[in-house]
Amino acid sequence: MTADIAFTRLPHPASTAAEVRAAVLADPGFGKTFTDHMVTIDWSEAAGWHNPTVMPYGPIALDPAAAVLHYAQEIFEGLKAYRFNDGGTALFRPEANARRFNASAARLAMPEMPEALFVEAIRQLVAADHDWFPTVDGGSLYLRPFMIATEAFLGVRPAKQYKFIVIASPAGNYFKSGAPAVSIWVSDYTRAAPGGTGAAKCGGNYAASLVPTAEAFARGHDQVLFLDAAEHRWIEELGGMNLFFVFANGSILTPPLGGTILPGITRDSLLQLAREEGLTVREERYSIDQWRADAASGALLEAFACGTAAVVTPVGKVADPDGEFIVGSGGPGQLTGKLKDRLVAIQRGTAPDPHGWVMRLD
């Protein structure tokens, strides 16, 4: 099936009242409210991808034996649509999300989806819910495409039936603290091991991160940091974000992709922007001990987290059972701010887009 096959549109019996929607859009938070519609597409061995439908947002019926409920065959993506000053809307690098979705699908033994169909499904949802863009500064429409195994079968093998769904949620700041910099807890738990699913965006990775995340919250931190599985020494990534380090010698470092961390699209975009700023860009291993030492000596000036939900968020404090240390000033650093501004300006259409990252929808 190709993207030009028509989507069925089911009418909405009672869309959200305008004043209720306006209240949400003025203060959306993150991931709390969903728009009026969703898109679903089914897959079976016999028919491939079929039955693309835009329908009212709501519960889905699943057989209690559906494979996703037992063996966690589930993958997802996260990307944002932005409303530009001219009133039109745009996506940021949706083809990159489509490619990563297919890489996740391959790792979880799920069917891949034509990139054009993935993007068209998102386009259909944004068109149906174009009144759901937040009115707050920095707001966007967060899109969550995902795929679940729907076949009712308890044997352990790849399922033969799947459902792809896209939902949308008006989004403001990811971190509700609103603090200028976040605090992170270095976990003893491991997120991903070589040969595992760390590079895939599958729900199971996040399920495994919930105890360490809850531990971080209980200790008063905003996010959890995972170290490598083998030596418990090398910095990998946060629960839902990649990490960058900015040094006094004009270099910037982020841990290398090696199968255990998520290849972030924000990470990739910032690497490109940092090169264009004339920085020395290093994708190298960096240990927690070195981070502590470099923060103390002043060799390290700034650190920041990045991802679709978090955009670019300064890291101000790091803690583990040995104690805690402050990064740079403990607040937002200069280069972090500069890279964030450059990225956000491209995403929101207030700066030129020389890389062809922005896809206008209308």
Residues found near ligand COI in the complex (CB under 6 A): 78, 240, 307-309
* 237 contacts ligand PLP (rule: CB under 6 A): yes
* 241 contacts ligand PLP (rule: CB under 6 A): yes
Q: In 3-state terms, what secondary structure has residue 346?
A: helix
Alpha helices by DSSP H, listed for 64-139, are: 68-71, 94-107, 115-128
Q: In 3-state terms, what secondary structure has residue 149?
A: strand
Degrees, nearest 5: CA angle 60-64-65: 120
Q: Please count the other Cβ atoms lying within 10 Å of the Cβ belonging to residue 21.
A: 18
Taking the complex as a whole, how short is the minimal distance between the CB of residue 201 and ligand COI, in angstroms? 7
* 235 contacts ligand PLP (rule: CB under 6 A): no
Q: In 3-state terms, what secondary structure has residue 225?
A: strand
User: Which amino acid does the sequence have at 356?
Assistant: G
* Listed ranges 32-40, 59-67, 235-243, 273-281: which one lies at the site for ligand PLP (CB under 6 A): 235-243
Instruction: List Cβ neighbours of 331 (8 Å cut-off, separation of 6 or more).
Output: 180, 181, 314, 316
Taking the complex as a whole, how short is the minimal distance between the CB of residue 308 and ligand COI, in angstroms? 4
Taking the complex as a whole, how short is the minimal distance between the CB of residue 311 and ligand COI, in angstroms? 9
Which one, 158 or 263, has the nearer CB to ligand PLP? 263
Which one, 181 or 265, has the nearer CB to ligand COI? 265
Taking the complex as a whole, how short is the minimal distance between the CB of residue 240 and ligand COI, in angstroms? 2
x/- site string to ligand PLP, residues 244 to 283, per CB under 6 A? ------------------x-xxxx----------------
Cβ density class 191-219: b for 16+ within 10 Å, e for less = bbeeebbbbbbbbbbeebbeebbeebeee
Q: What are phi and psi of 289, to 5 degrees?
A: -65, -40
* 301 contacts ligand PLP (rule: CB under 6 A): no
Of 28, 139, 145, 240, the one binding ligand PLP by CB under 6 A: 240
Please report, as ranges, the residues that interact with ligand PLP according to CB under 6 A: 78, 237, 240-242, 262, 264-267, 307-308
